[in-house]
């Protein structure tokens, strides 16, 4: 019987489904060396963004009679897995890149309105007993320019919704101009920074490239730009972001991801012009449902599972 370790949760329905299909499922959070040890006795591992699958953990997992064949990242980002090393050691790494697209894009649109209308800070100050009606003169998003860095699945979904509410879309993508999107204007990275009223990033993090946005890039942006990061925290230098906020270069920021998670940078999250959320982009019933179903299919496919194996 194949054994699957679900180390950071999955829909319970689909865990039950796996069990009914004849898999032995361990549904418990493990991390670090303990995770490596646990992996010595499983065929597949399912993780989210919290676990770090380093070279050391892979080595630990493959000590002795190595059993681990498959690591599934329940979600999109593979930046927490040493994919190159896992592959080299014969462990296949898979993810579910499409399942959470709509959820992350909807969060982004929600944040556009949140920061344009100071919803976050108005919430906080009302709870403190203040009626600051005059302080929160926001801006409409209609007619404004939304700059998108990365017109992949999520970037495209954001663009579609933002243009439906009357925003102009400009974008930069490492792959160049996208065919089939004549209403979105392809620009250089620097042009997007310089012309966006609202700016959102939707690219993966590449440790070899490091930060995408530091003081240099903040300086190129429009005075008073609204900025959103739902991609990866390490793309943006938080120290330079706080300076840009304090200088008024950035009017407000919405962010779902951080340089160090789950450690909380209190200076940043307590800044009145920051609307922080704890990496909840993919945390919807629908996204998690799609992800869990996809994982079951992947496991079934990978192990060429058939009815006979139930009997083993
Ligand atoms: C992803 O890469 O899929 C998102 O960042 C969500 O990560 P999560 O599965 O930890 O919520």
Per-residue pLDDT of the chain (312 residues; tens, 9 = 90+): 999 999 999 999 999 999 999 999 999 999 999 999 999 999 999 999 999 999 999 999 999 888 999 999 999 999 999 999 999 999 999 999 999 999 999 999 999 999 999 999 999 999 999 999 999 999 999 999 999 999 999 999 999 999 999 999 999 999 999 999 999 999 999 999 999 999 999 999 999 999 999 999 999 999 999 999 999 999 999 999 999 999 999 999 999 999 999 999 999 999 999 999 999 999 999 999 999 999 999 999 999 865 455 433
Cα distance between residue 280 and residue 161, in whole Å = 19
Q: Is the pTM of this model over 0.85?
A: yes
Q: Which residue has the least CA distance to atom 11 on ligand 1?
A: 282
Pocket of ligand 1 (CB under 6 A): 48-49, 74-77, 100, 279, 281-283
Cα of 282 from ligand 1 centre, angstroms = 6
Chain centre distance of CA 185: 25
* Ligand 1 atom at minimal distance to the Cα of residue 230: 5
Q: Which is nearest to 192 in space by CA: 159, 161, 214, 169?
A: 169
Q: Which two tokens stand for residue 28?
A: 């418990």
């Amino acid at each position: 019987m194949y054994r699957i370790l679900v180390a950071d949760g999955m829909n319970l329905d689909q865990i039950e489904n796996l069990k009914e299909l004849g898999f032995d499922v361990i549904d418990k959070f493990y991390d670090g060396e303990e995770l490596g040890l646990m992996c010595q006795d499983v065929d597949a591992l399912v993780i989210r963004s919290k676990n770090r699958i380093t070279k050391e953990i892979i080595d630990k997992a493959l000590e002795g009679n190595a059993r681990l064949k498959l690591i599934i990242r329940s979600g999109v980002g593979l930046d927490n897995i040493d994919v190159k090393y896992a592959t080299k050691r014969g462990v296949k790494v898979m993810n579910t890149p499409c399942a959470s697209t709509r959820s992350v894009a909807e969060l982004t649109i929600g944040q556009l309105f949140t920061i344009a209308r100071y919803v976050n800070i108005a919430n906080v100050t009302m709870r403190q007993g203040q009626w600051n009606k005059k302080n929160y003169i926001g801006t409409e998003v209609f007619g404004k320019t939304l700059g998108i860095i990365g017109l992949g699945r999520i970037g495209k979904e954001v663009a579609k919704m933002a243009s439906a509410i009357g925003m102009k879309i400009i974008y930069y993508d490492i792959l160049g101009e996208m065919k089939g999107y004549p209403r979105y204007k392809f620009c250089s990275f620097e042009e997007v920074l310089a012309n966006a009223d609202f700016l959102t990033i939707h690219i993966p993090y590449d440790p070899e490239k490091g930060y995408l946005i530091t003081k240099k890039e903040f300086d190129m942006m429009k005075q008073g730009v609204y900025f959103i990061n739902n991609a990866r925290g390490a793309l943006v230098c938080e120290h330079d972001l706080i300076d840009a906020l304090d200088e008024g270069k950035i009017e407000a920021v919405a962010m779902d991801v951080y340089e160090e998670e789950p450690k909380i940078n209190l200076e940043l999250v307590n800044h009145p012009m920051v609307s922080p959320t704890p990496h909840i982009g993919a945390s919807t019933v629908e996204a998690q449902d799609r992800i869990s179903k996809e994982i079951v299919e992947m496991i079934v496919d990978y192990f060429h599972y058939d009815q006979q194996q139930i009997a083993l």
